Structure 1
């Protein structure tokens, strides 16, 4: 193939790295490609986040070969999106992951590339090598990617292996068989991944059996106590029975920090909405701010139940994005949400005011005692001041401590501090 000496130009909107990769792939034979790594390496070294999009498979293969031979520990995020991937490109990139040359990688996103099980298995093999232990965010698949049981099971093995101990955000979309989701949920139930904050399984085949496993993991595993996002939107196999089964987990203490719940585009109807309204009315999910449940059958009965939840639970301030039966329901829900927000703000202001007054009284008490002590003898050292403010006991207890200090003024400073510490310790023990 004839080579061209012209450098790539930014005429198609691609970033510079994508242009270099595609230009190298288009203009040089396979044997000559490795001789033109310098510009690519230079570009990689000055980046901490790279986004690869709209390039052919051979362009990604070149990136993989370069990364196999050159370590990039400063690279924190890699996004591969909307590329024309075949086997070679993703395999070469995954080899670079397995070698460990991306030892500082924290985020990996491979989406909208028309992937299948082969690509997912390759990615899982690289993640299971143990060289990606710094990974915190993993996003795989979309509505254009189709995975079956085999690919999902390979990901489940990685999650269960313990090789991703720092993982916080997990997104796996496009799994079309329930057995694959069962494997993933059972892997999460194994508690090998601690500290998950976000779960996204949009567009996957999730039926009652898989939901039961997921609900059990969310409800009983302490690793989900910090979960802030759960998105099951687009799972058309989920109906009322599945939502009711999931609600058992949503009522647990593990879900108190859940901030965003996605249930849009399910086959959920009135019974599912009534269950959601019931748990919100009872005060479960106190941290919930956003509920997405559009493209579901929200009847007048279930809509009234959601309105009643706002009325009965004045702490409920969730922004519900649902298909209301009429604008009247929509406006009533919005007005009640605004009312509850105002009530919470008022309660917060009052609470802050009380805390401020208590703090001022406490500080005034400490300052008065210190002034009295200063008049009798010399001012205490900074260490003594720290100890008195640290334990935050009452004025009477502080007076006891100060009188003890006065008696011990002739002793060494170390003995004075020991007496203060022992008095404070006895005070705290009596309180408990």
Structure 2
């Protein structure tokens, strides 16, 4: 679920100053700012702020206290006429002198229902590009050393409009030299041309403090990825820690992937700890990226790795398993392989060699949902957990995997025989037969029936349809109860 921050309308912008140290810890966009008078935007109006006048916003305590606590607070609400371009830019210039973070959400997030929606959407897109262009011109006028974060989300930025070019100029002249996070989330019209303009700005060396770069769902193709890789390989972004690039509907081929792989192999991003790649559509490209991560001598403290919508065939999976066994991934906490349809049982079994290597003891989050893993893959997962591997695992998502009677039994036996397994495994459980219901009868001494705990010898048990899940929940609760709070926290397990 995406978290929508409280926004302020400024010249048609959704404009906000945010404490992003707290937000980075929560991995969501949130905001909090103290001011003499505070206003709150009610729920759902954050996506329709362009339709909301300042007079419609109510002070906190006027019936929206709950929404104030949920969405944070804003210090002021200003509505300006966008047609007055000079006045708009003058006011923006004054306000940006005081801001540390700038968040802009465009008309792309509006829910429009009308017979002329195509015309309205086209006009909204034009407005977004004009507004971002105005912001870019303002940022070119003088340095803004206080600005740490620039987020442009859902703005429908068109590569031909010049909006990205205006922002790139501001970066290239060094006016955003203190920028810590550049986020261009969900601007699907940027494309390769916009990526090349942005790459040229990144290569200028004026963003030496940049630690996070988010280019998700920007419509970037293979040539755009190669341009971004060239900027990352310039050696002028050595502070970068988090890189997110690609999308569910983008496609990177071998050439662009190899260009990015070369960046990792030559060690141009020595502080990188968080890598999110989506849409690598050829297995050779995936293999080249993974082998470069394996052979890089500068990567030593990876925390998160996400490979979604990628061509994860048997060769790519073997390359991933080999990389995960290296020193660079000994501190990995999150592995996300969601929505890789080519990831099947054979591939998962090949990957399990990394799980058994003891190099992933810090892993607490594993996502294989939306893949083609079935009975054999889930049986292998149960075997890995039963043998005591992945001791820190707390969250495992495998929805969509074909869970049969044999694989369900393997998962339950992992909970039963290894008392240190306390992970939440989100999987579709199969139905059971009468013989299945009697399988663990001697082992389980009590059970939850219709909301109450009952002993089998003292009451009539009304078995639910998904009894396998109840077995798993019982043994998981038993294991948790046997562990101390300190031990659970040491293993990064959520303590409730």
**TM-score (normalised: structure 1):** 0.73
Q: 8 Å contact 1:111–1:145 — kept in the other structure?
A: no
- Counterpart of 2:473 (choices 325, 330, 334) is 334
In structure 2, distance between residues paired with 1:26 and 1:296: 46
Q: Does 1:296 align with 2:401?
A: yes
Q: 8 Å contact 1:81–1:113 — kept in the other structure?
A: yes
Q: CA deviation at 1:5?
A: 3.6
Mark the CA change 1:150 to 1:243 in structure 2 (over 3 Å): closer, same or farther. same
What per-residue deviation string (whole Å, max 9, x for no partner) do you get for residues 173-205 of structure 1?
A: 111110100101110110332211111001100
**TM-score (normalised: structure 2):** 0.64
Q: Which residue does 1:92 correspond to in 2?
A: 197
Q: Which residue does 1:215 correspond to in 2?
A: 321
What per-residue deviation string (whole Å, max 9, x for no partner) do you get for residues 26-58 of structure 1?
A: 399x9xx89x83456669543211111213332
Q: 8 Å contact 2:324–2:359 — kept in the other structure?
A: yes
Q: CA deviation at 1:72?
A: 2.6
Q: CA deviation at 1:89?
A: 2.4
Q: Which residue does 2:482 correspond to in 1?
A: 343
Mark the CA change 1:99 to 1:314 in structure 2 (over 3 Å): closer, same or farther. same
What per-residue deviation string (whole Å, max 9, x for no partner) do you get for residues 104-134 of structure 1?
A: 0001010112221121111101000000010
Q: 8 Å contact 2:370–2:398 — kept in the other structure?
A: yes
Mark the CA change 1:61 to 1:247 in structure 2 (over 3 Å): closer, same or farther. same
Q: Which residue does 2:185 correspond to in 1?
A: 81
- Counterpart of 1:257 (choices 362, 367, 381) is 362
Q: CA RMSD in A?
A: 3.0
Q: Which residue does 1:386 correspond to in 2?
A: none
Unaligned runs of 5+ in 1: 352-432
- Counterpart of 1:195 (choices 292, 297, 301) is 301
Mark the CA change 1:241 to 1:24 in structure 2 (over 3 Å): closer, same or farther. closer
Q: CA deviation at 1:348?
A: 4.6
Q: Which residue does 2:146 correspond to in 1?
A: 46
In structure 1, distance between residues paired with 2:333 and 2:385: 16
Q: 8 Å contact 1:136–1:166 — kept in the other structure?
A: yes
Mark the CA change 1:175 to 1:44 in structure 2 (over 3 Å): closer, same or farther. farther
In structure 2, distance between residues paired with 1:203 and 1:56: 25
What per-residue deviation string (whole Å, max 9, x for no partner) do you get for residues 320-345 of structure 1?
A: 01111132122221222122111112
Structure number with larger C-alpha Rg: 1
Q: Which residue does 1:417 correspond to in 2?
A: none
In structure 2, distance between residues paired with 1:315 and 1:303: 18
In structure 1, distance between residues paired with 2:103 and 2:265: 37
1:133-144 matched pairs, under 5 angstroms: 133-144=238-249
Whichever structure has more helix as a proportion of its residues is 1
Which secondary structure state, in structure 1, belongs to the residue aligned with residue 256 of structure 2? helix
Q: 8 Å contact 1:203–1:234 — kept in the other structure?
A: yes
Q: Which residue does 2:88 correspond to in 1?
A: 7
Q: 8 Å contact 1:137–1:168 — kept in the other structure?
A: yes
Q: CA deviation at 1:210?
A: 1.3
In structure 1, distance between residues paired with 2:468 and 2:285: 39
Which secondary structure state, in structure 1, belongs to the residue aligned with residue 426 of structure 2? strand
In structure 1, distance between residues paired with 2:140 and 2:425: 47
Unaligned runs of 5+ in 2: 1-82, 93-101, 108-124, 432-465, 491-496
In structure 2, distance between residues paired with 1:254 and 1:38: 49
Q: 8 Å contact 2:245–2:276 — kept in the other structure?
A: yes
Q: Which residue does 1:61 correspond to in 2?
A: 165
In structure 2, distance between residues paired with 1:214 and 1:300: 29
Q: Which residue does 2:421 correspond to in 1?
A: 316
Q: 8 Å contact 1:267–1:296 — kept in the other structure?
A: yes
Q: Does 1:173 align with 2:278?
A: yes
In structure 1, distance between residues paired with 2:129 and 2:239: 31
